[in-house]
Amino acid sequence: MQKHDMTWMLLISLMAFGSANAEDDAIHIRTLAASCAACHGTNGNSVGGTPVLAGLDQGHFTSQMLAFRSGERASTVMHRHAKGLTPAEIEQLAHYFAAQPRTAAITPTPVE
């Protein structure tokens, strides 16, 4: 085998490895985001009393999460969730929720 063939093989395997990791990251973030759905609704579209996360400004999301984490912003439950996340996960969740479309709350039509 030629030396440059070996180099190509190494490069291709490195690229495959890189994309597999990006895929794992995306799955990891979707799994984390799903754990927020119980209170913040599917894809951050809250229908209860909790804030809507869908389409939230990334900077606002991150600063609030870090404030919950440090205790700078008082919270009922969010400090516990924020403390379980790394700054990198918070960053990726901010990106994820900012990209989710906001859906209008569905108001049931009254039955006549």
Q: Which is nearer to ligand HEC, 23 or 60 (CB)?
A: 60
Q: In whole angstroms, how close is the CB of 105 to ligand HEC at the nearest point?
A: 17
Chosen residue from 43, 64, 92, 100 binding ligand HEC by CB under 6 A: 64
- Does position 54 interact with ligand HEC (CB under 6 A)? The reply is no
Binder among 29, 42, 50, 55 for ligand HEC (CB under 6 A): 50
Q: List Cα–Cα distances, 58 to 42, 55, 82, 100, in angstroms.
A: 18, 8, 15, 12
Cα-based torsion angle of the residue sequence 16, 87, 36, 51 in order, rounded to the nearest 10 degrees? -130
Q: Which of these, 42, 64, 44, 41, lies nearest to 54 by C-alpha position?
A: 44
Collect all residues with Cβ–Cβ distance below 8 Å to 75 and sequence separation of at least 6: 68
75 binding ligand HEC? (CB under 6 A): yes
Binding site for ligand HEC (CB under 6 A): 32, 35-36, 38-40, 50-51, 53, 61, 64-65, 75-78, 81, 93
